[in-house]
Each structure stands twice: as C-alpha cells, then as structure tokens.
Structure 1
Amino acid sequence: MKLTIQKDELNDAIQQVSKAVSSRPAIPILGGIKFDVAHHGVTLTASDTDISIQSFIPAEIGDKTIIRVSKPGSIVLAAKFFVEIVKKLPENDIEMEISDGLQVSIRSGSTDIQMVGLDAEEFPVLPSIEENDTFAVPGDLLKAMVRQTAFAASTSEQTPILTGVLWSLHEGEFKFVATDRHRLSSRTTYVETNPDYKFGNIVIAGKTLNELSKIVPDANTPVEIVVADNQVLFKVDRVLFFSRILDGTYPDTSKIIPQVFKTELTLETKKLTDAIDRAYLMSREEKTNIVRLVTLEDGTIEVSSSSSELGRVTEQMDVKEFSGDPLRIAFNSKYMLDALKVIDSEHIFIGFNGAMSPIIIRPTDHSHNLHIILPYRTTS
C-alpha cells in the first residue's frame, strides 16, 4: 500500500469514523481505523460492534486530485494516536506507505512517523443489509427529532430497552418516542415512502442517535434510511452509519397520554423556561430539583423552589389562557427544563388532571412534539 492524500479530506473522514471507535475495545483491532486503498479512492471504517461508520474519500472531487495511489492495499491503524497525529502534520500532502510487514510510514514535509498497524483481515465485516425499502429525511429535521426526544431516554442499563428511542413508521407517519419511566418525549413527521411500508418496535440507543447527529449536516441534505432485521443504515453524503437495533420489546406508552384535562394553561415558552431555570438554581442545591407551580386567584401562576439553607425563589407569571380547576403541583425542574428547551414554539400548552396525574406539555402551533412529566408527591 502506497498513496499520497490531502490532509484536509483525510482529517474530515477520520473525525467522522472515529465516533465509532471503542474507547475500551474488547479486542485491540476495535480500537483502530481500517484503511482500504484502491485506485478510485480510500475507504475508512471504524466499529465498536454497536455502531459502525464508513467514510469514502474519492480520488478526485471535481477537477481537484485528492488521492494519488501508487499501490492499493489495506491496514488498520490505532485510532487514538492516528486521529491526533494527522491534525498535527505540517503539510497538506500526506504520504502513507506499508514499508515492512505491518509497519506504516507516514510522511508530511520533513516529518516522518513510523506506526505499527494491524492486519485488516481481522477487522469485523460490516453488516450486510438488503436495501428493499428505503426512505429519506432531511438532515436538519432528523437532528431536530433526535434533539427533541433522545434526552428523555434512560441512562440506566438495568432496563436496556429504555436507553433507546422507539421508532415507528405507519402510513407515512414517522415517529420517535423516548421514556425513562419518569418522563416521555415524542416527535412525529411525515415522510414519502411506499404506502404499504411500515415498521414498529425499532429501538436505537439514544447515545447512538446523538453520535449520528454530529455527522448529519445542519442543512436539509437528505439522509437515506434503511431498516433491516437487526440493523439500521443511514447514508449521509459519502458516509455510511450502521446502528444495531436494541433487543427487547418497548413498552406501550400510548395509553398514558390523556386527551382531556381538568386544568389547561397556555404560557409564553421563554418566560416559563426562564422562571423555572431560576427556581432550579436553588432547588438543585437541595439535590431534589423540586419546583412547585400554583395557579392563583387573579389568573396568574406562581413558580417557586423548595426552601433550602440558601433561601427560596418565588415569582409570579401572567398566563395567556387559563381554564379549569385551581392547581398546586410539584415536579422535577430539570425534567421540565429539558422539555421546554427543545420546544421551538413561542407558546406552549400545559394540561393537568390533578396533582398526581402526568403533566402534558406541547407547542400550541403544531402537534408534532409532545412531552410528559410525572409530578412529585410532596407533604406540603
């Protein structure tokens, strides 16, 4: 293997695939990045078995030569060192050559680095996926769907299925749901696909989707999605991102969402977010995060933190609309803030059915996004 490659393109591809490199690999080869060098370009691959990322660098982009290949070949290089060294190389032209066995020479300007590689034949083979049914989601929309749901997934490995985000597709409605049993967030959109194509109980780890978001561009570049038996493949430009589907059955959450409410409030999203954020500052000192919301006789609401050694935060807010029974409710302010900060609408609707029933939060201008928070039972 011998080639000359442009540093910028190589560095971009390394940054993408390195997100799949295991920080504590079960076997040494999973701590590496595989290079497959051919005359038409270089393919980089990394995998931790849960996710695999492959990035292709073509030999030419437009009229610009990116790679000159003297001799094709394959090698696996330790990611931890290689990721950092490429960024620090002095020139844009990088020459790589297997000089003796698995010894690799990396030259740039006057810098000459010798690395010991690993046998590419030992690198795990990427999943084989039949691309019978595919659909596409704009990159910025997919990122928004992840941002508005993945935070509600559980971080406890005691219930592995809840560490994921549930996907479903039915009659063109593409839906994400995440819950950790204390809160729930969902987001829906409509996609163009075969009307008969549908799936349910596809669960992808929340942390995997967050890594995917880092690769997906902010623009409305289409992300092609292929769902198979135990893998989901995402195609973004010249990058392939494979994710394992979590084993198990996701709980049915549809029955916990009430349709009618005893108390209904419409509020300015930013004002409520800021008020709860100030109360959270004090409540987190008690490590309870408990904040109370009370409706007052004059039609306003009061937001207050629990009393602590430092003191207490109390403030009143006007509401845009209020109907139904008076209310006094306590909730985890961090959970509420997490939900409020991903709602892009100017006003929100909050529905209550009493102090111990789920709190429903949703935008007023559309029904694509929904959040549920379980309240706290308090003695006062």
Structure 2
Amino acid sequence: MTTAVEEIVELNNEVEESLQTHVEVQIKKDVMQNIIKRVERSKEKKGVVPIKQGIYLHFGEDQITARALNNDYSTQVIVKKTKDNYTFLEGASGGAVFMDPKLSSMVNSMPRKNIKLSIHASNAVISAGRTSFELKTLDSLEFPQFMDNIEGPEVKLHSDVLKRMYVKTTFAASTLETRPALTGVQHKVKDKRFSLAATDSYRLATITQELDEEVEEINTVIPAPALSEIQKQLDDSVSQVSIRFSKSSVAYSFDNGTTIISRVIDSPYPDISKLIPDQFTTEIQFRVDEIRELVKRAMLVDQENSVQLLVKAEALQARFISRESEKAGFVEDISPTEGEGKDVKLGLNIRYLLDTLNHHSPNSLIKMQFVSNSRPIIIRLVDGDQDNLDLVLPVKLAGNDNPEDVVIEDFRGDIQIKIEDGE
C-alpha cells in the first residue's frame, strides 16, 4: 500500500515537474534592453493584483513576446527570432513574469553584449560573465490574456502625424476624476477628417487631419495616460500606425511589432463647438519664440497665477504685467507683428499660456483672437488649418472691468526691434 502511494506521489511530482517552465536562452543585451524599455512603463504602479506589476516574457521558437498592463492600457511587444538575436541553450520555449522593479537596471548593468537567461519554475537567473542576478518570478500562465482581436473602423496614419496630433492635445486633458470624460481625448472621424479634442474645462486643444480613405464615423474618448505612452513609443523604429476602434477598446498596431490596447472612457464628451467663438473683435500676431520667452520671464515672479494683458492692437502694442506681491513684479512690452481691432484688457493663467506655446514650433507665427475680457481667447497658427486651435479662458482680475480704458504708458516694446535692426 505504501509503495502504491509513493508511486502516485512520485508520478504527481513528475507531472508537476513536466509542467514547470525550464528554459535557458542566450540573448543580445541590446535586444533585451529594447524589449523591457517598450513595456515597463505599462506596468501597474500600485494595485490589488500583484502580477499586473510585473513584466511577462515568453521565449518561443519563432519570437519573443513581452507584455505589461495597467487599468488604462496594455502593451505587447513581439520580436521575431533571427539567427543573431537569441538562441536556446536548453528547452524549446517558455517564459515567466518578472516582478522585480529593478529588472531594467540589472540588464543595463550587464558587462557583456550577450546575456544568459535561465528560467526554472519560479526562479530565474540573469547572467553575463562573472555577473549574475537571481530573481523570483510568477507563472506566465497566470498573466492576463492580451485581447487584441478588436474589430471595428480602422484609421491608418504615419507615425509622425499621429505623434504630432497627440503632442498638441493630450496636455490639455484633465487629471481630475470628477469628470471622467475630461481625463481623455475625444477622437472623431467624419467626412474623411480625423479630429482630436482635449479640455479640462479651463482650456481646450483641438487638431484635425485629413485621411486618405473613407472611414466609418467614430466618436470615442481614450484616456490621456494611454496616449502619453503611445507618444513615447512613436520613435524612429515606427513608420506606420493602424488604429482599430470598438465600443469598449482601441488597438494601436505599430509596424515594429508593438501593440497597445486601451480602454475607452464610457462617458459622453461635452460639445466643444459651443465653446469656440466664431467672431472676434481683436486679433494680434506674434512669433512663438518671442512671446514664449516673455512668458517664461513672467513666471520667475509668479509661476501659478495670472498675468494681466493689455493690448492696443491698432498701435501694435501689448504689455504683460505680473504682480505676486509688493516685493516682486514683472512688466514687459512686446510689439505684435500685426494687429487689428479694439483694445483689450484681461487676465490670463500664465502656466496654461506657456503650455500652449510650448506645443508650437519656435519659428511659427501665431494669432491671438479676442472677443471680450470674459470670453475665451483663441490661439491659432497664422497659416494653419483653422480647425487646429488652442483655447484659454480668461481670468478675472481686479481692474479689468473696463476693458475700453486701456492705457499703455511709456511703451518699450520697440526697443528690441530697433536693436535687431541695428539702430
């Protein structure tokens, strides 16, 4: 009887041993570095499911698969096997979930171009030469599945175009969960025009791109954190991106083997068209680099609050005034390159203004359009698509109640112009 029990136990142990991962590979250090770099930002930082804080790595006969995920999005990287990038030393395939947050640092510190990675059950060893790290891992079979079988309308864009669109909008999304829709960026497709919009209710950024092909109408909201990660992934190794939309998720497929799946925010986005004025009483134009440097100087006095802007458009005069306290103040004049319309006196959130300017090329020419001291200010490129704009709400400041009474005494904005002209 005892012998029979022992045989059963031994058989169970053999079965369990056979089911455990046992694989050893030699992989180029730069290949391993690139894989980890592309997935590690997608790990869950905190949470109740520990395995979501790890990196899934699987070495197959034909490819390496790496994955990481969080509550907003998941990332998968596939690297096809070549004769040079990795070889099996033992076993034929296998993987694990690496939980150590210092995995990237360990790989980066390896002294040789090739790394040996051994995985046996819940243990792993990364070694090169006389250096080795021992790690505890989790079973790769326990890692959540990567659901990339998304069906729906598809938008195809060059990576540079998509990155530019996200750079120019995601910064304006809200970070407050009180209004979930505003923590994302609205994506719309209609009449071969792909439009993005982001707002935190104090500012707005929109951009539109013409598509080469007809696409079914789309109106969905994607979390800004997912789009920030996509921006980082769009480097020189990516040329084309395919975006597939469904009701609950969106799949971004890059031509370098990376796929990102993002959830969709199930909350209606506000009608932003009601926020954008269609007529203006004043318009002034500036070079981005000139006004941006001015705003940076103003922030040395007050980084968080507001500046007062005085404009005499017809005289090509503008003055920025910042007063943090009786001990510190800032005044600088600047001459718009062009101007027309009524005088303006209003307050602006200085950080919001700088955020907007930072997302334009330094040599660009922008126009600031005004309606009144209580209506939104619109910022557009002079020669750009008029649907591509930034909107900033004015700030109520004492002394701005009578915008008609604008006086700019001892204007000094023309001093720099004379210096540059050699006078």
TM surpasses 0.5:
yes
1:226 counterpart (244, 254, 276): 244
Q: Secondary structure at the match of 1:313?
A: strand
Q: Secondary structure at the match of 2:320?
A: strand
1:352 counterpart (367, 370, 386): 370
Select between 101-110 and 13-22 the one with higher mean Cα deviation. Answer: 101-110
Give the RMSD, CA atoms, in angstroms: 1.9
Offset from partner CA, 1:83-135 (integer Å, 9 cap, x none): 22111122222222223x32223221122332221011211111243345422
| 1:1-16 correspondence runs (5 A) | 1-16=23-38
| 1:254-293 correspondence runs (5 A) | 254-284=273-303, 287-293=304-310
| Corresponding letter in the other structure for 2:206 | S
Q: 1:269 to 1:114 in 2, by over 3 A?
A: closer
Q: Secondary structure at the match of 2:269?
A: coil
Equivalent pair of 2:152/2:245 in contact (CA under 8 Å)? no
Q: Residue 25 of structure 1: CA displacement?
A: 3.2
The yes-or-no answer on 1:160 pairing with 2:148 is no
Equivalent pair of 1:279/1:291 in contact (CA under 8 Å)? no
Equivalent pair of 1:291/1:333 in contact (CA under 8 Å)? no
The yes-or-no answer on 1:294 pairing with 2:311 is yes
Following TM superposition, where does structure 1 have runs of at least 4 consecutive aligned residues deviating by more than 4 angstroms?
none
Query: 1:112 — aligned with what?
Result: 132
Q: Residue 150 of structure 1: CA displacement?
A: 0.9
Query: 1:82 — aligned with what?
Result: 103
| Corresponding letter in the other structure for 1:130 | I
TM-score (norm 2): 0.83
Equivalent pair of 1:98/1:105 in contact (CA under 8 Å)? yes
Offset from partner CA, 1:210-255 (integer Å, 9 cap, x none): 1111111157711121112211111221111111111211111111
Q: Residue 139 of structure 1: CA displacement?
A: 1.4
CA distance in 1, matches of 2:171, 2:207: 12
Query: 2:141 — aligned with what?
Result: 121
Q: Secondary structure at the match of 2:138?
A: coil
CA distance in 2, matches of 1:21, 1:175: 29
Gapped runs of 5+ residues in structure 1?
none
Aligned residues between the structures: 372
Q: 1:196 to 1:297 in 2, by over 3 A?
A: closer
The yes-or-no answer on 1:45 pairing with 2:67 is yes
The yes-or-no answer on 1:332 pairing with 2:349 is yes
Gapped runs of 5+ residues in structure 2?
1-22, 400-423
| Corresponding letter in the other structure for 2:370 | F
| Corresponding letter in the other structure for 2:246 | A
1:92 counterpart (113, 116, 140): 113
Work out which of the two has the higher radius of gyration on C-alpha atoms and give 1 or 2. 2
2:234 counterpart (197, 212, 216): 216
Q: Residue 292 of structure 1: CA displacement?
A: 2.5
Query: 2:15 — aligned with what?
Result: none
Q: Residue 79 of structure 1: CA displacement?
A: 4.4
| Corresponding letter in the other structure for 1:224 | S
CA distance in 2, matches of 1:304, 1:323: 21
Q: Residue 56 of structure 1: CA displacement?
A: 1.4
Offset from partner CA, 1:261-306 (integer Å, 9 cap, x none): 111212222222222222222132xx42333233277431112112
CA distance in 1, matches of 2:159, 2:388: 18
Identity among equivalent positions (%) equals 28
TM-score (norm 1): 0.92
CA distance in 2, matches of 1:185, 1:130: 28
CA distance in 2, matches of 1:250, 1:91: 52
